[in-house]
Amino acid sequence: MRRVLDVLLDNPILLKELRIGLRERKIFLLQSLYLVVLGSATALFLFSASAPRDLLELPDQGRLLHGILFWSQLAMVVLITPSLTCGQISGERENHSLDLLRASRLRTVEIVLGKLGYALAYVGLLLVSSLPMVAVVFLLGGVAPGEVAASYGVLALVAALVGLLGLFFSAREQKTGHATNQAYGILILTFILSLGALPALAEMLSRGQTLGTGRFAFPLWLYLLVHACGLAAFLFLKIQNHLRRRVAHEIWLGRLFTLVWLVNCGLLGLLMSTGNSWTDPEPVAATWCAVLVVALASLGCFLDPQPFAAPREEARRRAGLAFRPWFWNGVLLLGLALMAGAQGALGAPPVQVLSTLGLCAGVSVGFAVVARSLHTLLGGRPRFATLYYALLPAILVLPTLPLASEESELTFWLGTQVSPLPAVWSLWNDMPAVSLGGWTLDLPTACLLSWLGLAALLGALCALRRSRPGVEA
């Protein structure tokens, strides 16, 4: 315990960053900007709000002001935190001081915690300085102190996650500019993609939504918190890997991921059965889609071509079962099978369950081959892996938009060729087959064929490249 406290509190990196960082003009300007935005929002609200006709309207105004302040703070925390972490490690690299730190007796965990601690300490300062504005909410009423505390907890958690994302890119990239572009690129893309879902999610959270019902009811906030912690742990370990001369923690990363994944899939299979989902198939389709996105993103992380510090280590890595992409593909498929098994055992229609499992398995295998082949064909440079990180959300989610806008069959069919999500959806919602040039294909078959076809094509190109003399595999 004392050792953990020492790493957190008696951390030379944290002290150094606070000494240097808090002397910068940027820090003062950011804080001023933060307070000006929040102060303006509060003042604007108070002056523009119509005078309440009766006192019972005041709590509504309090809730509205609390909402305005929370979303403004969330936006600013998401924008400010990466600016504090994106240059932390790449900046040391550019300054030629990273080697001095690595050659000292500091452990990588101290370096990462020190850097993250600085960003969180500053965000903490911003959040504390916003308290006078938030206190106005209590004058109006309608919001319990527990809710305010919970919203600050959410802001701190988001700051930690976004800070870790910035540190991750900072550790990956040689230049701060590249790290900043990538971190903000991912955040903006995620924001655009989740624009529709965010208010609904907030609404569900404030309603105390649970997954499943009765004995199996599981609070949505806890479910999200567990996943956020898993993601934070994953990023934290990955950052350390980029700082070490040997790749470490891969086994822990694997164990962590396997545990979360398998428990998650079993739990979801169980929960879906308790909500009378077979007669209302939309939640089932949505769960399968969400799980598939997580599966592909995780698989991509394990296929991430991280440069190895030492060829000796790479040889060791290649020799181990736990480091083979096929192993992770197997783990992912096991999770999907667990989910399908739980559904089947609780009475879901077997044909639909098996079809969904088959489609997800096929796409997952195809995805692994496509990602690996692209990496080889593009020269195996880590920069292309970043491209993968940037494009994955777009590839998976953007083509599903026609689903919402009910575009023509052709647009829908084309979307299916890129993203497997509409195909999964169609399995549970009886979407019609698509006729194209005299061929009639149902969407899952079309999707499966396109993914496996692409995988076969790229796999063949890779094999051809490897078989050429002088080209190393």
Partner 1 sequence: MIRCRGLTHRYDKRLALDGLDLQVAAGEAFAFIGPNGAGKTTTIRILATLLEPTAGEAFVAGFSTLDQADEVRRVLGYMPDAFGVYDGMRVWEYLEFFAAAYRIPRPDRRRTLDDVLELTDLGARRETNIEHLSKGMKQRLCLAKTLLHDPQVLVLDEPASGLDPRARIDLKELLRELTRMGKTLFVSSHILPELADFCSTVGILEAGRLVACGRVDEILRAVDQGRSMRVRVLRDLEKAGGVVEETPGSSRVRVQDGVLLFQFEGPLEDLADLAERLADQRLGLVEFAEARTDLEDVFMRVTQGVVS
- Residue 106 interacting with partner 1 (CB under 8 A): yes
CB nearer partner 1, residue 16 or residue 324: 16
The Cβ of residue 447 has, within 10 Å, a number of other Cβ atoms equal to 27
- Residue 103 interacting with partner 1 (CB under 8 A): yes
Question: How far is CA 361 from each of CA 157, 233, 288, 295, rounded to the nearest angstrom?
Answer: 33, 27, 12, 10
Minimum distance, C-beta of residue 126 to partner 1, in the bound complex (Å): 21
* Residue from 2, 3, 53, 96 in contact with partner 1 (CB under 8 A): 96
- Residue 12 interacting with partner 1 (CB under 8 A): yes
Look-up of token digits 């309608």: 142
Look-up of token digits 């000292």: 104
| Stretch in the footprint of partner 1 (CB under 8 A) among 51-59, 144-152, 234-242, 310-318 | 310-318
Would you state the structure tokens that stand for residue 439, as one six-digit string? 């061929």
- Residue 313 interacting with partner 1 (CB under 8 A): yes
The Cβ of residue 18 has, within 10 Å, a number of other Cβ atoms equal to 16
CB nearer partner 1, residue 311 or residue 437: 311
Among 157, 267, 255, 252, smallest CA distance to 212 is for: 267
- Residue 99 interacting with partner 1 (CB under 8 A): yes
| Stretch in the footprint of partner 1 (CB under 8 A) among 67-75, 153-161, 304-312, 365-373 | 304-312
- Residue 383 interacting with partner 1 (CB under 8 A): no
CB nearer partner 1, residue 347 or residue 470: 470
CB nearer partner 1, residue 121 or residue 232: 121
* Residue from 311, 347, 379, 437 in contact with partner 1 (CB under 8 A): 311
What does DSSP say about strands 434-436 and 218-219: parallel, antiparallel, or unpaired? Answer: unpaired
Minimum distance, C-beta of residue 98 to partner 1, in the bound complex (Å): 8
Identify the DSSP state of 50: P
CB nearer partner 1, residue 18 or residue 157: 18
Rounded-to-integer distance, Cα 421 and Cα 24, Å: 47
In 200-318, DSSP assigns E strands to 210-211, 218-219
* Residue from 42, 69, 84, 92 in contact with partner 1 (CB under 8 A): 92
The Cβ of residue 73 has, within 10 Å, a number of other Cβ atoms equal to 26
| Stretch in the footprint of partner 1 (CB under 8 A) among 133-141, 276-284, 311-319, 407-415 | 311-319
Among 373, 339, 365, smallest CA distance to 265 is for: 339
Minimum distance, C-beta of residue 3 to partner 1, in the bound complex (Å): 13
Among 64, 78, 224, smallest CA distance to 155 is for: 78
Rounded-to-integer distance, Cα 331 and Cα 345, Å: 21
3-state secondary structure at position 245: coil
Among 81, 100, 97, 110, smallest CA distance to 13 is for: 110
| Stretch in the footprint of partner 1 (CB under 8 A) among 307-315, 363-371, 404-412, 413-421 | 307-315
Distance separating the N- and C-terminal Cα atoms of the chain: 47
* Residue from 95, 206, 429, 435 in contact with partner 1 (CB under 8 A): 95
Rounded-to-integer distance, Cα 238 and Cα 250, Å: 8
Helix axes 108-129, 25-48, angle to 10 degrees: 40
CB nearer partner 1, residue 5 or residue 103: 103
- Residue 57 interacting with partner 1 (CB under 8 A): no
Minimum distance, C-beta of residue 9 to partner 1, in the bound complex (Å): 12
Minimum distance, C-beta of residue 6 to partner 1, in the bound complex (Å): 11
Which residues on neighbouring strands pair with residue 436, listed in sequence order?
A: 439
* Residue from 7, 16, 250, 304 in contact with partner 1 (CB under 8 A): 16
- Residue 101 interacting with partner 1 (CB under 8 A): yes
- Residue 24 interacting with partner 1 (CB under 8 A): yes
Answer yes or no: are the C-beta atoms of 450 and 359 closer than 8 Å.
no
Among 45, 90, 387, 102, smallest CA distance to 245 is for: 102
Size, binding site for partner 1 by CB under 8 A? 27
What does DSSP say about strands 210-211 and 218-219: parallel, antiparallel, or unpaired? Answer: antiparallel
According to CB under 8 A, which residues from 239 to 298 bind partner 1? 245-246
- Residue 26 interacting with partner 1 (CB under 8 A): no
Minimum distance, C-beta of residue 29 to partner 1, in the bound complex (Å): 16
* Residue from 32, 40, 97, 435 in contact with partner 1 (CB under 8 A): 97
Minimum distance, C-beta of residue 388 to partner 1, in the bound complex (Å): 22
Would you state the structure tokens that stand for residue 249, as one six-digit string? 């923690």
| Angle (CA) 393 396 397, round 5° | 80
- Residue 225 interacting with partner 1 (CB under 8 A): no
- Residue 20 interacting with partner 1 (CB under 8 A): yes
CB nearer partner 1, residue 145 or residue 311: 311
Interface ranges with partner 1 (CB under 8 A): 10, 12, 15-16, 19-20, 23-24, 92, 95-97, 99-106, 245-246, 309-313
